[in-house]
């Protein structure tokens, strides 16, 4: 018989634990923090073994959501092992130390040159720009540059410089408003409307411009709905304004997401330096640039649009460096990872990724609307020029989608996108008016909470001011989102919707006690749901259609008789169906 546990478990001997008594600090669980317990409100007095510190943090982070199932975020959640290896190898490098890390600075300049070319900068002209922590810093730098140029111009004319303003839509991301608040610029928010697709109304924006306007922010990919704002048309109106009133108003394009989508999926769209009024562009490398956070970019049309006063020369790192970023130190590893993605994918690879993202987003959109319970506020799945939900538009979108996917084209070919509206691979959706009328106490917050039961993170939020009575849910489709991802998302959303209805006639425990049938496959589920609704339907037909969908995925419950029970239906005086759910409210 063995004399020690170390003989039985050789691995413990290798750890030095086979021939001695285990002490409190050796224990990962039970006594791994300190003898005095954990006080999270004060700096730790004592040290602990490295493995204990690791395990403590590792376990606490298990309460985070799964990044892959986080449908709210635009951020990259997956990179190839080779890219991750480069990140780990370069974690200790500070990008700003260009004298010490000369090769890293060459990579920085190459990335800027690639972006200058990608965004159709003037051929033969060097790139003017910088890497940033994210697109928020790029937005701020773009705004500062416009303010300084406006101020210099006003001073040269002997005019007042105390009241600068900038015009942008109320659908703006918070970084735009931070710029105005932090740098003393009046923000003139243009209300959004359904007619403007919940983005800036460019004609109303024109009315807000005056001699104190330093420029405009135009958003290529609204965070709320994924729509692109009309950069080229806004530029045309500004040119007309200049000819009429002499006001020279530049545009900074907030391309946080769209600047890495549009060049590959919609090369026909003019939004970049091909547009005369565009003087600077910012983008997030850690969104559809396909790199882990945090990295962003800002590029100017030419050096004249970056005032010299914003540039500093530093020499205390060993060489002379020019800097115009808001922060100083910056990790080099994510810059290197961005360069890896550029040379790894190239235009062809990025086009394949973006086309796949748009395909999956359109599939999800068509399947959602086919249920009869949801309508999309986003319009990327609709025929070019068709906006908003109606039965006619729903059928047109479905027909176009299935027609397009049956056409043999290369995965990198952007031509199928020409038939659809411009936009990000983002799906913004809500209950249909019919569903709300039929189930007046239905709550989208319940849907998002139930989806968390299945691991999904889906936000439910109001649209911008003056449209904020309308709440929408959002799913951002990213590189790591496969067709199986969409199938399971559709299945679980249908489950959450029916569970919400069931809880009005049962307890929550009873409603949740009927999980999805284990023998039901999700293979091609999104396609099957999307194809299931090919005609306009009245209310009674929509109820029957919903029951058919539930039957297909095993969501109808087995009754005592062995038959599958559908929700109880009754006819009201206004000839519409009423469920147990509504009766119990």
Rounded to whole angstroms, the Cα distance separating 32 from 466 reads: 53
**Hey, what are 15's tokens?**
């750890």
Rounded to whole angstroms, the Cα distance separating 65 from 79 reads: 18
Q: ∠ CA 577-581-584 to the nearest 5 degrees?
A: 110
Rounded to whole angstroms, the Cα distance separating 139 from 460 reads: 26
First vs last Cα of the chain: how many Å apart? Answer: 70
- H/E run at residue 63: none
Residue ranges in the chain modelled with pLDDT below 70: 1-39, 314-321, 505-521, 554-585
- H/E run at residue 64: none
Rounded to whole angstroms, the Cα distance separating 446 from 458 reads: 11
Residues whose CB falls within 8 Å of the CB of residue 335, separated by 6 or more in sequence, listed in order: 95, 104, 107, 108, 111, 131, 295
H-type helices in 371-482, by residue range? 391-405, 433-438, 444-453
User: Residue 483 in 3-state DSSP?
Assistant: helix
Neighbours of 557 (CB within 10 A): 17
pLDDT at res. 17: 44
Is there a contact between 230 and 277 (Cβ–Cβ < 8 Å)? no
Reported as a single tens digit per residue, the pLDDT across 509-537 is 666 665 554 445 677 889 989 998 888 88
* DSSP designation for 536: -
pLDDT at res. 549: 85
pLDDT at res. 558: 43
Rounded to whole angstroms, the Cα distance separating 475 from 458 reads: 6
Rg of the Cα atoms in the chain: 28
Reported as a single tens digit per residue, the pLDDT across 103-153 is 999 999 999 999 999 999 999 999 999 999 999 999 999 999 999 999 999
Is there a contact between 374 and 431 (Cβ–Cβ < 8 Å)? yes
**Hey, what are 419's tokens?**
């038939």
pLDDT at res. 1: 47
Rounded to whole angstroms, the Cα distance separating 510 from 502 reads: 9
Rounded to whole angstroms, the Cα distance separating 463 from 447 reads: 18
Rounded to whole angstroms, the Cα distance separating 274 from 268 reads: 11
* DSSP designation for 22: P
Query: Within 13 Å of residue 432, how many CA atoms lie on the same side as its CB?
Result: 18
């Amino acid at each position: 018989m063995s004399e020690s546990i170390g003989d039985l478990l050789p691995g413990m001997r290798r750890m030095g634990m086979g021939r001695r008594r285990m002490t409190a600090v050796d224990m990962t669980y039970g006594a791994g923090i300190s003898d005095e317990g954990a006080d999270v409100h004060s700096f730790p007095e004592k040290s602990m073994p490295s493995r204990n510190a690791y395990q403590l943090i590792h376990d606490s982070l298990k309460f985070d959501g799964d990044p892959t199932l986080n449908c709210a975020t635009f951020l990259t959640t997956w990179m190839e092992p080779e890219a991750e290896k480069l990140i780990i190898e370069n974690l200790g490098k500070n990008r700003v130390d260009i004298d010490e890390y000369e090769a890293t600075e060459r990579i920085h300049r190459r990335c800027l040159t690639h972006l200058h070319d990608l965004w159709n900068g003037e051929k033969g002209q060097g790139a003017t720009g910088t890497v940033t922590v994210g697109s928020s810093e790029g937005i701020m730098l773009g705004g500062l540059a416009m303010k300084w140029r406006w101020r210099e111009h006003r001073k040269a004319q002997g005019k007042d410089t105390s009241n600068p303003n900038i015009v942008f839509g109320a659908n703006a991301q918070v970084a735009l408003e931070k710029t105005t608040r932090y740098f003393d610029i009046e923000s003139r928010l243009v209300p959004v409307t359904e007619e403007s697709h919940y983005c800036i109304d460019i004609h109303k924006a024109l009315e807000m411009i005056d001699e104190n306007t330093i420029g405009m922010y135009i958003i290529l990919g609204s965070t709320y709905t994924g729509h692109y704002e009309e950069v080229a048309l806004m530029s045309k109106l500004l040119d007309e304004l200049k000819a009429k009133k002499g006001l020279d108003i530049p545009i900074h394009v907030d391309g946080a997401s769209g600047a890495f989508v549009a060049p590959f999926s919609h090369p026909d769209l003019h939004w970049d330096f091909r547009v005369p009024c565009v003087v600077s562009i910012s983008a997030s490398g850690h969104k559809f640039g396909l790199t882990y956070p945090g990295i962003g970019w800002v590029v100017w049309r030419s050096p004249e649009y970056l005032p010299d006063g914003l540039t500093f020369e530093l020499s205390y790192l060993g060489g002379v460096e020019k800097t115009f970023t808001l922060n100083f130190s910056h990790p080099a590893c994510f810059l290197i990872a961005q360069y890896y993605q550029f040379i790894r994918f190239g235009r062809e690879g990025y086009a394949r990724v973006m086309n796949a993202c748009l395909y999956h987003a359109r599939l999800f959109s068509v399947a959602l609307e086919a249920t009869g319970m949801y309508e999309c506020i986003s319009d990327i799945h609709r025929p070019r020029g068709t906006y908003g939900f109606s039965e006619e538009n729903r059928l047109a979108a479905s027909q176009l989608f299935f027609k397009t996917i049956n056409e043999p084209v290369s995965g990198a070919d952007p031509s199928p996108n020409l038939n659809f509206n411009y936009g990000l691979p983002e799906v913004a959706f809500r209950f249909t008016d019919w569903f709300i009328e039929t189930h007046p106490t239905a709550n989208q917050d319940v849907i998002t909470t139930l989806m968390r039961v299945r691991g999904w993170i889906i936000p439910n939020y109001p649209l911008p001011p003056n449209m904020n009575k309308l709440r929408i849910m959002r799913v951002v489709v990213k590189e790591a989102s496969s067709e199986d991802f969409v199938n399971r998302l559709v299945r679980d959303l249908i489950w959450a919707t029916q569970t919400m209805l069931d809880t009005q006639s049962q307890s929550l425990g009873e409603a949740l006690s009927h999980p999805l049938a284990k023998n039901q496959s999700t293979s091609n589920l999104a396609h099957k749901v999307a194809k299931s609704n090919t005609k306009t339907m009245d209310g009674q037909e929509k109820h029957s259609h919903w029951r058919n969908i539930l039957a297909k995925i095993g969501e109808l419950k087995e009754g005592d008789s062995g038959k599958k029970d559908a929700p109880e239906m009754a006819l009201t005086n206004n000839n519409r169906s009423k469920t147990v759910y509504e009766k119990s409210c």
